[in-house]
Chains A and B, each alone.
Chain A
């Protein structure tokens, strides 16, 4: 709890320092140092005003750094930053910090790294571990990101759409180590949703909650993927589903549909089926139609073809799939599945084996190899 509260306050504290005129990169370093100090001293003595405490300590860290730097340059210059102690400003620039960290001038990988550190309050070490790169590499990525946004004005409104895409990237990375990026992405999206009045932010939060609800059922303890139809639905988290559905319904009621709301609607229809056979595929196809209209994305088209296969039969699914670019990742896997449904086992086995070779991650490759083996066994028997 202590650690989460600490990290919750990160963007607000950073916002105060930037508001006082400290440049973003320097302020971010000072806040990170204050977080480290808090992690050491709060377990012993938790301050009554955590935000005020962090601002005071971060400000002191900044002054220390500024003094030692300026004493080498100009001893007089430091005076401008001397400030009489008083109550912490009531402003909350957290949202601006979100915008800056997801600024369109940043590459997605840089925006993700900067967001996790400056908004999420994670250490460079934790972020490096989560993305399986050396700490020095991640440190470089973050400092380059800070240099990229050095001239961005802090007081201009940013692009909420890029913030949402960055948070969704964090979510999709999942769980790779010490840091649970799924939980972190949900925490940050919750924080963002509380600060904005935006249907798509709510849609993204709902989507994340609905996906996360299925998490325990998605893999076996050995890390083997369990496809949706075979998941033990009693292991889905009904509280997360209920929360996701409620958030989604409130967003949809405002009649400003966007891609995250449409994706969440599809996830909600899956969550709503007590058994895989009871899934309302006809409605799911119509949501894919909406999603395709909004995004024009070939990946959506591919997923739509699979849904058509469930709603109107595998032959219809294969016909829809024939319209989709065969070079897309998972095209072969989708084709294998639809051929199996259509009873063409020989083609399905061959396609599953091909799909395994072009899989982009080990869990998926294992799953597809297993599918090929399963059908191969059935054919041999």
Chain B
């Protein structure tokens, strides 16, 4: 088994195919989209491949230490140009191919006119904590 991270972006990803902002969908389209995401996670829980996931607020701040006992300084909110993560999901699957298959499925969530959004998701393999016994 290997863990992979799916990252969904508010900004910074290439443009979706079906790129109508959510606020211009119909209420039914919003419901269908939410239901699709929920069903996707439920199905992965049943197959034992779901390892976690959360949505993130678009409001965020850069923070860094100033040292010398001073409080950390902040910069933000994020400028328009910055890459902005909307949410993440971790899956634990048998193969890279399976991870690709699932990411493809998630990307096809329905949007405006009930058509798949075909949004770009970022797929990142986890680094394991240490060498396996047989390595």
Contacts and interface: CB of A to CB of B under 8 A. Distances in A.
Interface residues of A, number: 21
B23 interface: yes
B57 A370 contact: no
B50 to A, nearest CB: 13
A356 B33 CA distance: 15
Is chain B's binding surface mostly helix, strand, loop or mixed? helix
Contacts of A352: 23
Contact of A373 (B23, B55, B58, B59): B23
B30 A370 contact: yes
Q: Interface centre among B22, B23, B38, B57, by most A CB within 10 Å?
A: B23
Nearest to B87: A362
A223 B26 CA distance: 18
B34 interface: yes
Given A358-B57, A358-B59, A360-B57, A373 B34 contact: no
Given A358-B57, A373-B29, A353 B34 contact: no
B26 A373 contact: yes
A376 B31 CA distance: 15
B26 A369 contact: no
Nearest to A358: B59
Contacts of B34: 222, 224, 366
Nearest to B25: A373
Interface in B1-59: 22-27, 29-31, 34-35, 38, 55, 57-59
Nearest to B22: A369
A374 interface: yes
B30 A373 contact: yes
A372 B30 CA distance: 10
Given A358-B57, A358-B59, A360-B57, A353 B30 contact: no
Contacts of A373: 22-27, 29-30
A357 interface: yes
B57 A377 contact: no
Interface string A343-379: 0000001001100111110100110011011101100
A377 B34 CA distance: 19
Contacts of B25: 373
B57 A372 contact: no
A239 B89 CA distance: 42
Contact of A222 (B23, B35, B58): B35
A349 B38 CA distance: 26
Contacts of A365: 55
B73 to A, nearest CB: 20
Given A357-B58, A358-B57, A360-B57, A376 B30 contact: no
B23 A377 contact: no
Given A370-B30, A373-B30, A353 B23 contact: yes
Contacts of B26: 373, 377
A222 B37 CA distance: 12
Contacts of B57: 357-360
A366 B35 CA distance: 11
Contacts of B31: 222, 224, 366, 370
A353 B25 CA distance: 11
A277 to B, nearest CB: 23
B35 A369 contact: no
A354 B57 CA distance: 12
Contacts of A362: 55
Nearest to A349: B23
Contacts of A224: 31, 34
Given A222-B34, A223-B38, A373-B25, 8 more contacts: A222-B35, A222-B38, A369-B23, A373-B23, A373-B24, A373-B27, A377-B26, A377-B27
